[in-house]
Structure 1
């Protein structure tokens, strides 16, 4: 339960600027109410080490906050919130690729648009995804045929216990579908143990457009452009996403709320027998990815609500804040959708956002 609003205060202790009782509503794209008991803005890697070395904060639990675009807050946050605000974007050209280096606090879409403005193609399919650069590897963000793992060179990570920085190459990040070592808590997992401070992305030469997606193919047919350049693909992706997804600045949301479930070929055939129109995509290993939004829509959830939380009327995969929604209402709505989809299709939908 959220506590009554308390005016925030700021103080400096042992070289660290600590903000107390900070309203987190502006810092999560769902616009959910919650308070951070203590918050430290991380504007350079050294700030992380200062927190780790701090006599009081060093031993306290930490909560890393980027753009708040993959987050459902159901309560106040007692852990020390590390608000990632490290800036910077630069490009290094090599014979076989471009390396785009960005600070963890840079907005992801700004990194995509900024690299394109600097003459670097390769990230355009990931345009308009909300959140920060530092959060992108955690979730292994992906859209329209490209995932972060396809472009990651390496990341700088600071250990939240020792303050030591290491650079991790892509191959040790254990990427999966909307998953990575940074989300994992088991053996070798880094969830809660480290924070990403800098990301380097590899955009290969020569550039090859990724066009094998139905929405992009429709744009090609509509415009008659069969060989788009990177800027054209970027513009198409922005148009497609804006038509489907609500702007968090206008309607609170966390983007796609559920992962697209992956089923065996046998399961897919069984579902198609009962629902021939189900949207599905073949995977390289012979399995099939089902469109979670289609499953939710088929169960009649589009436009329905629980308190201030609702299913977006234009895209059933998106849950929105219709006004003064509470995190508990979002969770209740999500669980009802999960039970409904399971009851009809025998499939458990898995949420994408982190529930706190």
Structure 2
């Protein structure tokens, strides 16, 4: 059965149903230089992703302090044809503590442009296919962001723009100042983080208070569907909470058992079940694979051949939330 098209494929037709998140590449989150072993690790992970049809590779300027981009850039330097096979996406807007202040978010025009240019240098490419704003900045000025986007687009450095970790109201506020659409919103969603879904199912019930922060996501999935914005799910594998042989938290045990039961029923991996659960949503969610282990990456391909029934989807939802819907 053919998978339905993604909203993002309207803009970038070669975009794959699954994305690969590069956060685990490049070594440690400090200034220690990456080594040839880190390049080999990245090569194995990227090849595994390519083998299962992944074309979108998701970066951020902060991942391993820039080394994730640098290592990926090294792969493209060694294999120049790789650039034409991938959709490159990166994020900016988070700054680590420095002499100017503590860890903070910065969506000023100057920082967006400077951070993007630094990412391009590390990746060794002339353009990003997509640039995302990594986190909302309480001091942001949408008109200033619009100027940064326009400058980067006119210079040929970025083709499309999006956001990450923003709710419907923030996207609508920003979009008022832009002269082109936001094409992506990447946020945490999945069996391990139900808040964006809970905000729609329990908003008028006492259960709405059972998940702090759920109401902040009210209308976000619907806004993305209405405006053709691609929802990308980070932490889509829930950091192994439901796919392992034992549950680290007893509260996850019922959901973990059910994930394994569904996987056995369909003859697929537990990773495939977790991603298929996301992809069953009508928002056409694009899961971002966070693991850099080749075997686990390849196991994710099972999601492409599994369509959960409505009953299975709700059974997993109920198990993950820990009690029945109202």
Q: Hey, which of these two has a bigger chunk of helix by percent?
A: 2
Which structure: greater strand fraction? 1
TM-score when normalising by structure 1: 0.27
Q: Relative contact order: is structure 1 or structure 2 higher (C-alpha 8 Å, sep ≥ 6)? A: 2
- Structure 1 or 2, whichever has the larger Rg, is 1
TM norm structure 2? 0.28
